[in-house]
Amino acid sequence: MKTHFPRLNRLQFVPVLLFTFVLSMAARGQAPDVEETSEKSNAISLSVEATTQPGNFHTPLDSTPDPLGNFIYFVAIGKRGPGVFRVAAAANNPVVEIAAGYPLVAPTGIAFSSDGLTIYITDAQAWSDDGVSGQIFALPANGGTPLPLPGAAGTKPRNLDVVRENGRDVIYYSGQEPRRLRPAIFKLAINAPNTLRIVAQGAPLVAPDGIAVTRTGIVYVADRASAGYGRGNVFRLNGRSIRPITSAVQMGNPAGIALTLDDSTLLVSSHQRNGYDQVLVVDLRTLRTQVFTDVVGENLDAGGLHRAHDRDIYSWIDSTSGGQGTVYLVRPRP
């Protein structure tokens, strides 16, 4: 049976690149219009390297560095079906398969535990023993068999972030409330039974995807369809408050988002009005936004984005670069 993954949007990067950012001013009390900016700035410079050699995988979807940024792990399709793969966080390295095939069906999100020993994988199509679809799997970083986490079955997990709260790891993830089938954001304490909690559900959420959580528990969610007509918003969830912090924008798919290490800035995979890529950069204090389009803006298929727990080191996916897809290492230039 041929396995199909959701379509991803492509970011084509080159080694060592200075990104040009376009700055837009947000109206006070309103979300910034990120699609009509024209003022350019060279405020941020990033080094970007393709880490993967062509070989035993194709169509990567999402990736994450380990906590120190030494290796990147990603979900893709391999010779044995959908799986998890590893590559050194440096230029042009061979890819190692960590796990593949059953019980994975269509994994779309991946994140690391804070200690670097466990990988968590979302799979909205994987069936549980209770006959419901949607699982989060735990996989040892050195390989083995993915095991389902208790509590998440049937919630159609899409994407996730792992944070440390009260001395233990907690998973925040996007999915679907199983009784009323409403879009939802969940919180699940790892290795603690009966701890699944709904953080938010229903409107204004429509198709929540990428998720990033600050050290103080503020949740940011990229929703691919909340604005209608194929566009969405980034929402900030703080307690019972949920509000958009960006104007309508066409998101990547997956709609990758990541916080900088100091929680001051949010990076969002998205598109220009012409369909080409942009990456939206949101100042979380002022809600002013920047975009970069150099090289990125020449491409159409960008996807997942995550940061290492302990470093300002990121990984980004290009699902079709080179004909099979490429995993990139992204970090600030020295």
Tell me what pLDDT residue 256 has: 93
The pLDDT tens digits of the residues spanning 179-229 come to 999 999 999 999 877 789 999 999 999 999 999 999 999 999 999 999 999
In Å, how far from its chain's centre is CA 298?
21
Residue 155 has pLDDT above 70, yes or no: yes
Q: What is the mean pLDDT of the chain?
A: 85
Q: CA 138, CA 128: separation in Å to the nearest integer?
A: 14
Tell me what pLDDT residue 323 has: 86
* Higher per-residue confidence, 7 vs 274: 274
Tell me what pLDDT residue 297 has: 67
Tell me what pLDDT residue 314 has: 93
Residue 29 has pLDDT above 50, yes or no: no
Domain 21-332 has CATH 2.120.10.30: yes
Map out the domains of the chain as residue ranges: 21-332
pTM (2 d.p.): 0.86
